[in-house]
Chain A
Amino acid sequence: MIVGVAPFVQGVPVAVLVDPAIPVGTLLHAAIPTGVVVDATVPVGVPFESVYVRSIVAVSLYVSGLAVLLGTLVGVPLAVALGSVEFPGKRLVTSAFTAGMGFPSVVVGLLVLFAVSNQGPLGGLDLVFTREAMVLSQFVLATPAIVAISLAAVSGVDESVRDAARALGGTRVDVALVTVREARYGVATAVLAGFGRAISEVGSVLIVGGNIAGADGVSKTRTLTTAIQLEARQGRYDTAMVLGGLLMALVLAVNLVVVRLGDEGMVR
């Protein structure tokens, strides 16, 4: 139902759709400074959109950011280690990670849901429908990409450069650091690929997180993707579009920052 008309935003009058049961509204309100009452006709108790949107962005960034951070901390050292040793079955391990890049996210979500459910091995941790469970499933989704792409990058580092690091007194850790530094564009690409996979997937976060937002409009486990899915399904296309725009902007911004960081380290 249309319960109010927001002030002109960029010259266009915007109809505000509010469903009292589900805290949503047009995102355009989010562009208005908090504390400014923009729509007196919104019933008391109906959430302010900026709270809703901000909390969704925060949950998305927290879940995908932490999952990718953990995936990087595990995946990059793993890739360097895999890249510097030879063992029987290495090809098998490598192709397992490559295959992992294509795992369907709903299936990963399902498996993680089983793992954290009461009967599952992680059942004692009480993780069902929590952000932490979402971090876990996105970690599983992002890490194979981080490992596989980093591995390809570090394998391209000349062995003679690694020899030089050793010859100059470097320890194993120093040699690994030199390897990552020489391969940093590839490693950055790997991290970005992991982040892109995590931030834009719907399946696993929907299953393990449950797409929950409180009555106060604060997202608990609702991410940009699951929110877009919900808003679109309920016909609130403008909200969905704005959330979609935010998601795109976020991905582009993270790309820019990571690429810049790579350039910084160039000549030093």
Chain B
Amino acid sequence: MATADRLDRRDGTPALSARSVSVAYGDDPVLSDLSLAVDPGEVLAVIGPSGVGKTTLLRVLSLSLRPDDGIVTVDGTDAWTADAAGRLALRRRIGLVFQEPSLFEGSVARNVSYGLRVRRSWRERIRDGLASAVGFDGPSAGSNGTAAAVREALSVVGLADATDRPASSLSGGEAQRVSFARALAYDPDVLLLDEPTSDLDPRNTAVVEDAMGEAAGRGIGVVLATHDMHQAERVADRVAVLLGGAFAEVGPTAAVFEDPDDDRTRKFISGELVW
């Protein structure tokens, strides 16, 4: 969806929502009766201590884990009553960045174009594959549209010149920035980030945080899971505090940090709550 279309709907349907979602691993409940809506163009930080269930929540939101209970919608469509093809289409409107970059072997361009390539028809993919096999195409294989999208996504993370570099030659910080560009390249409606800067130095962290703002500016709903409260304070429009399997508090960033309603939130923010 184009930026303008997404921003027009700022007050309408959430880009992504979870309603009364519960998840247990065996007999261990992790999330219970949790609800959340992500609007287009906002950065929503989900904060909470390690092991509280942030990753589990993102797996639910990315449709990779079906909750035991509750409903997940993408742009208003219930994902788990849709058929497999419908769910794949919904899944493809979501971008996901993990703590570890996990790049594919090959060039940076190959990594960043991956999402675009899997969305093409098999006929096109085979044709492009053959073309690049016989050397008809440069390293950033695919149509011109793909090459442009790749360069554009890489420029958001300051790596526009890195298209032809082998992924294996990147530093950890660069690899994570490529991983971010890889999810941005296919212009998702929602971007889910799971502790994306935990392993990064301050400089790379700043680049990724700026990229979050850039994505939100395009109307993408950004969900940032982090245990880093300072990061949440820096980048988030809203903060949801996950404690004990449910949200202790959800609200505008300033309100949550300056005047939390919930007592546990107050303790967590002041660092008293030790887990």
Contact call B102/A163, Cβ cutoff below 8 A: yes
Closest residue of chain A to B64 (Cβ to Cβ) is A166
Q: Identify which of B39-47, B104-112, B245-253 touches chain A.
A: B104-112
Q: At the interface, yes or no: B20 with Cβ under 8 Å from chain A?
A: no
Q: Assess the B102–A158 pair: CB atoms within 8 A.
A: yes
What B residues does A264 contact at CB under 8 A?
133
Q: Across the interface, do A266 and B106 meet the contact criterion of CB distance under 8 Å?
A: yes
Which of the candidate stretches A72-80, A81-89, A174-182 sits at the interface with the other chain?
A174-182
Contact in complex: A174, B62 (CB < 8 Å): no
Q: Is the CB of A1 closer than 8 A to any CB of chain B?
A: no
B contact residues, total (Cβ < 8 Å): 30
Given known A178-B104, A268-B132, contact A169–B115 (CB-CB < 8 A)? yes
Measured CA separation A167–B183 after assembly (Å): 8
Number of interface residues, chain A, beta carbon within 8 A: 21
CB distance A168 to B183 under 8 Å?
yes
Closest to A171 in B: B88
Complex interface bits, A232-268 against B, C-beta within 8 A gives 1, otherwise 0? 0000000000000000000000000000000011111
Within 8 A of A (CB), among B81-103: 88, 91-92, 95-96, 98, 100, 102-103
Please report the C-alpha to C-alpha distance between residue A11 and residue B266 in the assembled complex, in whole angstroms: 96
Asked whether A161 is an interface residue with its Cβ less than 8 Å from the other chain, the reply is yes
What CA separation (Å) do A169 and B164 show in the bound complex? 23
Measured CA separation A174–B91 after assembly (Å): 14
A268 engages B141 (CB within 8 Å): yes
Contacts of B132 in A (CB 8 A): 268
Q: How far is the CA of A240 from the CA of B238 in the complex (A)?
A: 81
Complex CA gap A265/B105 in Å reads: 9
Q: Which residues of B contact A161 (CB under 8 A)?
A: 102-104
Shortest distance in angstroms between A110's beta carbon and chain B's nearest beta carbon?
A: 42
- Residues of chain A within 8 A of B179, CB atoms compared: 164
B115 to chain A, nearest CB (A): 4
Decide yes or no: A182 and B105 within 8 Å by CB, A166-B64, A167-B183, A169-B119 being known contacts: yes
B62, A169: Cβ atoms closer than 8 Å: no
Bound-complex Cα distance A266 to B141 (A)? 14
CB-based nearest A residue for B164: A267
CB-CB under 8 A from B158, the residues of chain A are: none
Whether a CB of chain B sits under 8 angstroms from the CB of A165 is yes
The reply to whether B118 and A168 form a contact with Cβ atoms under 8 Å apart is yes
- Asked whether, in the complex, the Cβ of A168 is within 8 Å of the Cβ of B115, the reply is yes
> When the two chains form their complex, are residues A268 and B139 in contact, meaning their CB atoms are under 8 A apart?
yes
Which residue of chain A has the shortest Cβ distance to B85 in the bound complex? A171
Interface presence of A119 (CB below 8 A):
no
Given A160-B98, A163-B98, A164-B98, CB of A169 within 8 Å of CB of B104: no
Contact indicator B106/A174 (Cβ below 8 Å): no
* Residue of B with least CB distance to A184: B105
Q: Is the CB of A268 within 8 A of B100?
A: no
A160-B100, A163-B98, A268-B141 known; A169 vs B118 contact (CB < 8 Å): yes
Q: Counting CB contacts under 8 A, is A7 at the interface?
A: no
Contact, CB under 8 Å: A170 / B118 = yes
In the complex, B180 has a CB within 8 A of chain A: no
Report the separation of the CA atoms of residues A170 and B113 in the bound assembly, to the nearest whole angstrom: 12
Of listed B96, B141, B164, residue having the most chain A CB within 10 A: B96
Query: In the bound complex, what is the Cα–Cα distance between A207 and B32 (angstroms)?
Result: 67
- Report yes or no: B166 in contact with A267, Cβ–Cβ below 8 A: yes
In the complex, whether B182 has a CB less than 8 A from a CB of chain A is yes
The one of A160, A167, A178, A267 in contact with B62, judged by C-beta atoms closer than 8 angstroms, is A167
Check: B268 CB closer than 8 A to any chain A CB. Answer: no
A181 to B129, CA, bound (A): 13
Q: Which residue of A lies closest to B108 (CB)?
A: A267
Asked whether any CB of chain A lies closer than 8 Å to the CB of B80, the reply is: no
Q: State whether B186 touches A168 (Cβ < 8 A).
A: yes
Distance A165 CA – B103 CA, assembled complex (angstroms): 9
Residues of B within 8 A of A268 (CB): 106-107, 110, 132, 139, 141
What are 27 inter-chain pairs, A to B, with CB distance below 8 A? Answer: A158-B102, A160-B98, A160-B100, A160-B102, A161-B102, A163-B64, A163-B102, A164-B98, A164-B104, A164-B179, A165-B104, A165-B114, A166-B64, A167-B64, A167-B95, A168-B95, A168-B114, A168-B186, A169-B115, A169-B119, A174-B118, A182-B104, A182-B105, A265-B106, A266-B106, A267-B106, A267-B166
